[in-house]
Amino acid sequence: MTWVFFQSLISGILAGGVYALFGVGITIIFGVMKMVDFSACTQLVWGMYFTWIFYSVTGLNCYWAIPFVVICMGALAWVVFKLIVRPLLGSDDTSFILVTLGLSYFLQNLAEFIFGANPKSVPSSIKTSSIMLGEYSIGLPRLIAFFAMVILVLGVYMLLNRTTLGRAMRATSEKPEVAQMLGINTKKTFTIAFMIGVIFAGLSGLLITPLYYVTPTSGHMFRTTAYIAVIIGGLGDIKGALVGGIAIGIIEALVTGLIAIDLGPVGICLALLIVLYLRPQGFFGKGERQA
Rounded to whole angstroms, how far apart are CA atoms 69 and 255?
34
> Mutual orientation of helices 164-174 and 186-208 as an angle, nearest 10°?
110
pLDDT, the chain, mean: 84
241's CB contacts (< 8 A; 6+ apart) are: 20, 23, 24, 26, 27, 229, 230, 233
Question: Over the stretch 111-135, which tens digit does the pLDDT of each residue have?
Answer: 999 998 888 888 877 776 777 777 7
Question: Over the stretch 15-50, which tens digit does the pLDDT of each residue have?
Answer: 888 888 888 888 888 878 788 888 888 999 999 999
Rounded to whole angstroms, how far apart are CA atoms 80 and 77?
5
Question: Over the stretch 42-52, which tens digit does the pLDDT of each residue have?
Answer: 999 999 999 99
Do 59 and 265 form a contact (C-beta atoms < 8 A)? no
- Segments of the chain scoring below 70 in pLDDT: 1, 92-93, 128, 285-291
- Torsion over CA of 120, 111, 227 and 251, rounded to 10 degrees? -10
